[in-house]
Amino acid sequence: MITYRTMQEGDLEEALSIFKLFHEEAQLPYPIEDEALLSYLRLHLVNDNMIALAVVDDGEVVGGLLGMIIPSIYDGKTLVAYQTHWFVKKEHRGKGYGMKLHLIFSEFAKLKDAKFQVIQVRKFSTSFARRHNYRFLDQLLVREV
């Protein structure tokens, strides 16, 4: 049975393994440290303007989403829902789990009175963007210094 819920402390080890898979698949150039990532995940459990969502299949966390509500840097007032990470294990893709996480985050954004929703993306489907009324403002560029 599939359920969607906010992550709990007991989910963090499974979430850690999922986000490590994301890190590997996305070919992120920076190192990953378990304690730093666990600390970041824990922030999402205790901060009212952050959320960590889990997709659970028969007791196993198979996907997740991290997001936060922040004021716009341009006026300091307009609230922006910033979806920073979302990932579903390969063997569970194509079943709508990621889309459902996205929709749950959208509801969180509305509850927090966010005016805009932003998704940080790497390899992104333009069809997803069109279907959900997103427009590309920029691309994430990363290099070593």
The reported pLDDT for the residue numbered 121 is 63
CB-based contact 38:16 (threshold 8 Å): yes
CA distances from 46 to 22, 27, 49, 106 (A): 23, 29, 9, 19
SS3 of residue 92 by DSSP? helix
Superfamily for domain range 2-131: Gcn5-related N-acetyltransferase (GNAT) (3.40.630.30)
In this structure, how many other beta carbons lie within 10 angstroms of the beta carbon of residue 74? 8
CA dihedral (76, 84, 139, 136) positive or negative: negative
Q: Where are the domains of the chain?
A: 2-131
Query: Could you give the CA distance from residue 105 to residue 66 in angstroms, rounded to a whole number?
Result: 9
In this structure, how many other beta carbons lie within 10 angstroms of the beta carbon of residue 17? 13
What's at 145, amino acid-wise?
V
CB-based contact 88:98 (threshold 8 Å): yes
Q: Beta strand pairing status for 79-88 and 116-119? A: parallel
The reported pLDDT for the residue numbered 135 is 67
The reported pLDDT for the residue numbered 140 is 52
Q: pTM of the predicted model, to two decimals?
A: 0.84
In this prediction, the residues of the chain whose per-residue pLDDT falls under 50 are: 142-145
In the chain, pLDDT over 70 holds for what percent of residues? 85
